[in-house]
Structure formats: C-alpha cells, structure tokens
Structure 1
C-alpha cells in the first residue's frame, strides 16, 4: 500500500462535497476538468489523514515521513493540509510524490502550501506537470492553476513547486521553453531568474509579457481559452526581458546612469548565446541612445573580464 496514493484517492473522494467544485468552475475549470486532472480536497479537520493512515496500520513515524502529517512540539500528529484544493505532484515514474494545496481566496495564511521535503518529494527536483497527448514545447508558469489554464489550450505546462526554477527542473523541460509568469514585478523577476538555468538550453527560449497583475488563470476566468491562447502567441525572446531588467535597475535620466545601464546590459549580453547578441546590442543601443558600436565595445570589455 502506497500511503501517498491512498491519500490522493481520499482527497479526490472528498472534492465533490466541498467548496472546491464551485470555486474552480467559477475560475474556468468545470467538473470534467477537475476529474480529468485528479484534483482533490483536504478536509478542514486536524486529524483526518492521521486517522486514515493509522487505520491502514502505519506507524506514527511512517505517517510523518509521508509529508502529509506533522508532529507538534507536544508529540501529537496533525494534518499538514486542511481545507485546501489538492494538486497531486508526480515523480518521473508516475507515482504520487507529494501535493500542493491551495486555500480559497478569502482565507488568510499562505495561499499555496507544499509537502515538506521527504524521501520522495524534493520541491527543487519536481514540477507540477499535466499530461498531454502529443509532445510539444512546454510553457513554464508560476502556479498550478496557471498550469491548468495553459494545459486546457492543448499544450504542456509546468509549474515549480513554490520555489525558483532550479537547474534540475530546467533539465526536465526540454530544449525549447516558453515562460509565462504573472504580469507583476514578482512575475517578471521570476522570468528573469528562470533565465539563469534556461540560458544554456539550445532551443528557442521565449517569454510572454502578461498584463500587470494578471496570470494565465486570471485570463481564463475573464476571457476564456481564447484569451489564454492570444496571450501565448504574443511571444518575445526571454533574453529581451533579461536585458531590459539589467537596464531598468539604473536611473536613466543622467548620462552616468545611462553608461552604468549600458555596462550592466553588456555584462548580461556577454553571457548569452552568440545568436542572441546582435538583437540585444541593437535593443540596448536604441533604448539608451548609444551607437551599437559603443554597446558592442562594452560587451567585448565584459568578455575580456570573464
């Protein structure tokens, strides 16, 4: 008996009698989608999963090792997930490795909650992914609802488990990736940080710039699948965002700030693939009012210092 699979079956069985179906349907994920992607619900009680696993003969130590249950400072066991939509995370072998739980919108505390690291669940080594009938270029998003929204357009989607993208996760995505993070400063930072591990991939690494404060799940709720498809078609190179972020960290009103921005951008450009350099040199020169040759000189200077 796999206790994580047992818990997954239990969460799925509790979904229909909870607030989850109505909430998700209102976000654009009707009942058949919820069933298809095996979403569940963790009841609000403190010891439901504890008693479920005890009833199957698991020791308290083994129960805690699943990551589904925590031990209080007084030694009592309690459920880690309570009153949350449950998204199953699978390992490369297809086994349940852990879960992401999401609260309702009007509940305080952390919106998303992961399993703690366990023997099977390592959040930096797993992605929340959804099966697709055909191999295609994956879209990297921020959270599981965003992954669902993108997946409903027919393309693969993946979300980190509440952490920055790691090298191990990037290697799971393949050679070509589209990044579609939330359209707020934090989302843009996440896209730029993803570049650290995606830059070495040999394929096309693109990005979509979503409206401020909007994510793919918001677009689905307000505009349906057509709104998500339209956003995903507005692709630019992720390198554009990375270069712009280097420039935007400086005050551009004065010449000194413009020079500092050019040098910062050049330092980023110097680490890009050769086929990306010319575009970024031209964009930097245009933004700052420099001659492309001057920006190129800063790039050469950065290369010499590496």
Structure 2
C-alpha cells in the first residue's frame, strides 16, 4: 500500500484541531483545487484567471502556489485553500474543513468540533425558548395586547407562524421556572443572556412584556432574540440578545434563512434596518430582503451578501439618519467592489410604513420602488447637490473619504470620473486624492502616493502590510507603543493584534484558524512592496509617536472637562507642562 494512503488512513481523532487544519492545507495543492473551478494561465511564478467571485473580462484572479494563497485584484477577495473552498461552496469555516477532510480521506472525530457541539446545544436551547414564546403569543390571555399590536402593524398570522414571532410574559421569572429542572440549561440560558442572576440568588428574565422576534442563522438555528416593547413609555424600544458564542450582531443578517434561496435565484438583495421592515416587505411579496440586527451594517454583512448577489439595494428610512446610514453603507460596498442601488423614501417614511400605506400590491412587489430607486452615484449627487455649490472643498473631502476604500480598478476609474465631473476638476487631481499610497494605484503609477500620505488616510492597513513583510521589526513597533494607539474602528486592528500575538508565540501566521485573518493576510501579501523599507519603518514609528501624543492630549482635555483635577496653580502648571511636552513630541520628526 502506498505510504501516502497509509498516512491518510491513520490520520484520525488523535489530531488536534490545529493539526487537522495544517494537515488539510498540506494535502491540498491550492493550484489543483482552484483549477477545478477556474481556468488558470501561468504568469511568472503565479497563475492568473478570471475571478469566480465577480464578473470580469480581464483576468485579475491570482494564485501563488509557493505561498498557497490567492487574491483577486478586481474585487479584493483573498485567502488560502480553505478560504477559497468556503467561498466557492458557500460554507462556513468548520463545514469547509469537514468537507475537505472527507475529500482527502481524513477520518475526523467529532470531538474536534466540541465548540460546534456547544454552539448547537445553545441554539437548541434558544429554539426551545422561542417555541415557548411563540406558544404564549398564540394562546395566552396576557398576549392579547401583543396580538393586537401585531394586527395593528398589519402582521398576518401566516407571517407570525413563518417567522415564529412570540410574546415574553411580564412575569420576570418565567424562563427560570421553565428551565429549573435542568441546572445545565439554567447556566446556558445565563450564558446566552436570556436570564441573569439577582441579589436573592434567583434569576430574572431579560425579556419581559415584549413581542419576541427569534433570530435564525443561515442554517436555521435560533441564535438570538429581539424584543419589541409593548409599553410606549418603556425604553429601549428594542432589546437584543447580547453577543454570545452563537450570536454576533456584526455578522448575522435577520431573515437570511428565509430569503437566501430567493436572493441567490434572483441575484438581487434588498437591505433594511428594521425587523418589522423585513416582515412587512416579505409579507408584501418582496422575498429577497435581509435586515441588520439592531446594529449598523458592517464589513462582514457586506462580505456575506456579496457572495449571494451582485445586485444590492439599500432600503433605509427616509429621514436624515437614514440618508447618513445609506452613505456609510455605500462606502462599505465600494470597498468590496460593489456600487449598490439606493431607495430614497419620502421624508418621514420607513420601509414598513411605506409598504403598509400602499395596501395590497398588484404585480411585482419591487415595482412600487422603481421611481424611488437610484444608483449610488445618483444618490450621492442628489445628496451633495447643495453642498457642492456652497462648500465645495468640504464636499470633496467627504466624498474622497467615502470612495477611498475602493480597490477595484474599474470601479475606481468610474468614481474618479464621477468626482471630476461633479467638481469640474482634472481626473489626475481626483486620482491623487483617492490614492492611499499603499495599494497599487490602478489608475496610473504616476500618481502613487508616499507612505507618509498613506499613513494619514489608512494608517493601520499600512502598518499591517509592513508587519506581514517585515516581522523582524514587530517587537520594535510594539515597544514604541503600537498596541496603545490601535483604533477599534479599523478592520485591521484585530488583524494586527492577532499577527503580533502569533509572532510572539512563534506561530506561522498562515496556520491561524481564522478565515477573515487569512483573507487579510493574503490581500496584504500580494500588495506592492515598499520602495524603501527603512523609510517606511521610520515613518510608521513617527506616526506611532504622534498618535500617542494626540491620545495623551485627548486624555488631558477629558480630565479637565470632567473636572477630575482641581484648578490650583500647581495642578494647572503641571497640566500645561504635560500638554507642552506632548505637543513637542508631536512636532518632532524621526530622521
């Protein structure tokens, strides 16, 4: 028997999860796997072909067999062999591992997926609670007010049953009574945030006297809840389950389990911000819609939708907040190479109220939105029409920041042309303003910015790429205070922390079990190298010094504003000295 076959047969449950991940990566040649889905042509050390994740005419999808990674320079998708399989098959990370293990003959003991079993147990408990809430809504006398509320909002019994809507009784100890026979379930309910311990040693329910909306993931598992108050004076109006092992608001899209099939069939998706927006639209026949779960749209939401549909329409509230949310969402989609459509509802309307005001819809449900729908650039032009005339500099700066995340070369050219026409300025000036100085400038190498300019616009991306390419300097940057200045709002912050931790532990970054990490790592690896490594290092170091100084000034100002220091002469002199010293640090230049 060949030696390789023997090794396949003996690779069993004795492997750790990390060993399984490494074994699968070693068994699968990324070139062989990708070639099953993409026609590749050799160019130097790499292979290129048409991207399977977006439409293109010129090949921009690149595979590096030496590093075992891929990247599309068109849409930005990147990763390793497992990431590719996840995306091409539409699987989550663990299911992709199981599939690939089976394909190469590795027998996997389910004990390796103990976390997955725990998640399943938690989801089953949520589902048990959801059934209880649902039964309460359908049968209990106390739920009459909830039934009346749903009727008033036009929610039919069919929709109630389809989405398993429920009612949480006002008795704050109902769940602990329901679960008290099983101490393990009590502990799990506490972990899920369904109940919390109180001073008398008992438990109180999180959701009380609320219409309950169970939230299902793509696999149909109940991962969390949203509760809508029935008391007009009660706050908050909506209460969501806290984040847990199975519920991440930044990742979950409400309704996707019910509408995923229609979204994929139509190649089109609508995004709304409210639970009842989705329910009303679904009820009206718009069956390719999803909603965020009590949070703003995130990069992970966008990445998930991008794999399901190319045609995305933002359908937010018709007020100032809705307009701002639309602009922010446009920027997120542009970063993924997508230019979405935008529905501009009449002021004061939201998707729920708008569709309810139309009564029964004849014909295609989305037909009534046609006259309110614009592509993103039309929407932006409409929103900025007055500001372009009254405050052109401010408007230009805002739109440059909105478009700056774009990496798709074709889309970037379109955005440059749009801004050049809108502000009547040369395309070259727009290209220069949009360039990050870090990525390859798809418009023209002539307008490539310096690292210093890039640090002003996307500092953490530049730092992340530097760390990927020059790990030997990681400790120096840490000692300079890199971890102290990281901004939690940057998508690269978590990546940098994980990468530094891997370097400290002697772990190969390519062995880190996180698809998002691998996607960013591959993207940065394929980015153009720094022309002057030492100069880049010094400018990054200078940026860290300046940021530490800026944050120190902010802390001093905050202390003064909060009155946390007395205004005696000695204290004032001390704080003035600190500010003066900090400002001197900000102005000093490393050479």
Q: In 2, distance between residues paired with 1:112 and 1:173?
A: 25
SS of 2:196 mapped into structure 1: strand
Per the alignment, residue 582 of structure 2 pairs with: none
Quick one: which of 161, 180, 192 aligns to 1:54?
180
Give, in angstroms, the shift of residue 33 of structure 1: 1.8
Per the alignment, residue 136 of structure 2 pairs with: 14
Give, in angstroms, the shift of residue 121 of structure 1: 1.0
Quick one: which of 216, 235, 238 aligns to 2:376?
238
Give, in angstroms, the shift of residue 95 of structure 1: 0.8
Deviating beyond 6 angstroms after TM superposition, the runs of 4 or more aligned structure 1 residues are: none
Distance 1:60 1:271, change over 3 A: closer
Distance 1:75 1:124, change over 3 A: farther
Per the alignment, residue 38 of structure 1 pairs with: 164
Matched, 1:68 2:190: no
Higher helix share: 2
Give, in angstroms, the shift of residue 243 of structure 1: 5.6
Quick one: which of 222, 226, 233 aligns to 2:357?
222
Question: 1:146-179: per-residue Cα shift (whole Å, max 9, x none)?
Answer: 0112222233211111111111111221332110
Task: Determine if contact 1:262/1:284 at 8 Å carries over to the other structure.
Answer: no
Matched, 1:301 2:432: yes
Per the alignment, residue 419 of structure 2 pairs with: 281
Quick one: which of 208, 229, 235 aligns to 1:103?
229
Give, in angstroms, the shift of residue 22 of structure 1: 2.2
Q: In 2, distance between residues paired with 1:173 and 1:126?
A: 11
Per the alignment, residue 182 of structure 1 pairs with: 317
Question: 1:74-94: per-residue Cα shift (whole Å, max 9, x none)?
Answer: 654111111111111112322
Quick one: which of 137, 141, 144 aligns to 2:272?
141
Task: Determine if contact 1:269/1:280 at 8 Å carries over to the other structure.
Answer: no
Matched, 1:213 2:213: no
Alignment of 1:105-120 (within 5 A): 106-120=232-246
Give, in angstroms, the shift of residue 40 of structure 1: 1.0
Give, in angstroms, the shift of residue 283 of structure 1: 6.6
Largest Rg, 1 or 2: 2
Structure 2 unmatched ranges of 5 or more: 1-120, 436-446, 455-591
Equivalent residue pairs, number:
295
Task: Determine if contact 1:270/1:300 at 8 Å carries over to the other structure.
Answer: no
Distance 1:129 1:12, change over 3 A: same
Per the alignment, residue 164 of structure 1 pairs with: 296
Structure 1 unmatched ranges of 5 or more: 286-291
Distance 1:95 1:189, change over 3 A: same
Task: Determine if contact 2:335/2:405 at 8 Å carries over to the other structure.
Answer: no
Distance 1:238 1:105, change over 3 A: farther
Aligned Cα root-mean-square deviation (Å)? 2.8
Task: Determine if contact 1:269/1:299 at 8 Å carries over to the other structure.
Answer: no
Quick one: which of 104, 124, 127 aligns to 1:5?
127
Question: 1:32-91: per-residue Cα shift (whole Å, max 9, x none)?
Answer: 221122111111111111211223453543220122112336654111111111111112
